Amino acid sequence: MLGPVLRGAARSDTIRHAVSTAPVTRTVVDRYVAGERLDEALRTVRSLAAAGMDVTFDHLGEDTGDRAEASRNRDAYLALCEALAREDLAAHAEMSVKLSAFGQALPGGHEVAYENVRPVVERAAELGTMVTLDMEDHTTVDSTLAILAELRKDFPRTGAVVQSYLFRTEDDCRALAGEGSRVRLVKGAYDEPAEVAYQNKRDVDRAYVRCLKVLMAGKGYPMVGSHDPRIVAIAQELARRAGRKQDEFEFQMLYGIREAEQRRLVAQHHRMRVYVPYGTDWYGYFMRRLAERPANLAFFLRSLASR
Ligand code: FAD
């Protein structure tokens, strides 16, 4: 029951203010967020790279309220591109973007988001790296996949995320499983209605496996975005059956979650990419991480109570 409440709270400005200003929040947030500043995130990435891991950067931000803010978010990613070039990290680091941070929810937002994301994808390609479009709530899926299709005409390595909790996703996987396509499969982190999404964890997990079968059997590059040990084992088996070599798919996990498992997969010579969020706008991301695991919320509340 708590999950939907927390995911709802992720979009409440009042709760945002209360949580963001609570003195102990910072220590709990640090578990999931690599820092508020780019240099802190770069330090994290250097240590992950030394441990044999690749990363995808997320400059935190979502649900942008106006065009100026959307432009600032674009510029933050362009600055990130220059930092990757300067620090010689482009071989290890790609970028994940939320189109709502680029203006997707504004009037005319589809076009605004496309115009803002394109220069980032273009600069990433010049540097030899790429961009993956994160997936947000179900109302954005058509627009996000249409922007993906447009970008892939010139930048075929642009990736997308699909969420197994949505009924539509198995079909989306079929459509996206072609040559050169990069697809991150996740379970889904938003509070979705029963008309469009499975509500029961077991159904979401089963759908994940069905979608993964499609992606592994296809011609694209599957990115297995999950911390679930059962999913990891199934992915290894499906890749083996599909005759995929270890560089023909990758695992992805979030910064701060199941780090021992991340190292274990690297030791088995799998490609492991860690999703590294940084920036000051961490509230929505943080609340979704609390919602995923009741123990996280208990830890957060205990920290508050012990002050
Ligand atoms: P679960 O069954 O939820 O978790 C399996 C195990 O992982 C748990 O038992 C626990 O041990 C551990 N775990 C999971 N979550 C946490 C947590 N928050 N704190 C501590 N331990 C935890 N969702 C989207 O909707 N759109 C996206 O674009 C998106 N991008 C993602 C990118 C990456 C690289 C990853 C890994 C996830 C992304 N997600 C995204 C989130 C995803 O949808 C899930 O909400 C999240 O990954 C939890 O699902 P799970 O597959 O890990 O399985």
pLDDT at residue 29 in the model: 82
Q: Is the pLDDT of residue 307 over 60?
A: no
Closest atom of ligand 1 relative to the 205 alpha carbon = 2
The phi-psi region of residue 63 (left if phi > 0; otherwise alpha if psi is between -120 and 50; otherwise beta) is left
The domain in which residue 58 lies consists of 33-281
Q: Is the pLDDT of residue 20 over 70?
A: no
CB distance 134 to ligand 1 below 6 Å: yes
- Kindly name the residue from 7, 74, 152, 184 that is annotated as catalytic: 184
pLDDT at residue 305 in the model: 60
pLDDT at residue 21 in the model: 67
Percentage of the chain beyond pLDDT 90 is 79
Residue 288 lies in a domain: no
- Kindly name the residue from 58, 134, 172, 205 that is annotated as catalytic: 134
Closest atom of ligand 1 relative to the 56 alpha carbon = 34
CB distance 161 to ligand 1 below 6 Å: yes
115: domain CATH number is 3.20.20.220
* pLDDT-wise least confident of 84-93, 141-150, 243-252, 289-298: 289-298
Q: pLDDT tens, 234-287?
A: 999 999 999 999 999 999 999 999 999 999 999 999 999 999 999 988 888 988
pLDDT at residue 23 in the model: 62
* 54 in catalytic set: no
CB distance 209 to ligand 1 below 6 Å: no
Name the residue of 228, 250, 287 whose CB sits within 8 Å of the most ligand 1 atoms, as the mutation to test its pocket.
Answer: 228
- Binding residue ranges: 98, 135, 163, 187-189, 201, 226-227, 288-289
Cα of 153 vs centre of ligand 1, distance in Å, is: 30
Q: Which residues pair with 186 in a beta bridge?
A: 163
Domain count, the chain: 1
| pLDDT top residue among 26 and 134 | 134
* 134 in catalytic set: yes
Q: Binning pLDDT at 50, 70 and 90, where does residue 295 land?
A: confident
Residue 1 lies in a domain: no
- Tell me which DSSP letter residue 134 carries: -
Q: Tell me how far apart the alpha carbons of residues 112 and 188 are, in angstroms, rounded to a whole number.
A: 25
Q: Tell me how far apart the alpha carbons of residues 239 and 221 are, in angstroms, rounded to a whole number.
A: 11
pLDDT at residue 279 in the model: 93
Residue 227 lies in a domain: yes
| Nearest alpha-carbon partner for 133 in 112, 162, 156, 153 | 162
Name the residue of 187, 192, 252 whose CB sits within 8 Å of the most ligand 1 atoms, as the mutation to test its pocket.
Answer: 187
- Binding residue ranges for substrate: 98, 288-289
CB distance 225 to ligand 1 below 6 Å: yes
Q: Exposed/middle/buried for 173, CB within 10 Å: 0-12, 13-18, 19+?
A: buried
Q: Tell me how far apart the alpha carbons of residues 256 and 64 are, in angstroms, rounded to a whole number.
A: 26
Residue 80 lies in a domain: yes
* Unique residue bearing structure tokens 């021992």: 260
- Residue 304: CB atoms within 10 Å: 13
Q: Tell me how far apart the alpha carbons of residues 86 and 81 are, in angstroms, rounded to a whole number.
A: 9
| pLDDT top residue among 21 and 188 | 188
Percentage of the chain beyond pLDDT 70 is 90
Residue 64 lies in a domain: yes
Residue 159 lies in a domain: yes
Radius of gyration of the chain (CA): 18
Q: Tell me how far apart the alpha carbons of residues 212 and 206 are, in angstroms, rounded to a whole number.
A: 10
The mean pLDDT of 15-33, rounded to a whole number, is 72
**For ligand 1, atom 1, which residue shows the shortest CA distance?**
228
Residue 19 lies in a domain: no
**For ligand 1, atom 15, which residue shows the shortest CA distance?**
292
Cα of 221 vs centre of ligand 1, distance in Å, is: 20
- Binding residue ranges for FAD: 135, 163, 187-189, 201, 226-227
Q: pLDDT tens, 194-216?
A: 999 999 999 999 999 999 999 99
Residue 105 lies in a domain: yes
The mean pLDDT of 76-100, rounded to a whole number, is 96
Q: What is the pTM of this model?
A: 0.94
SS3 call for 57: strand
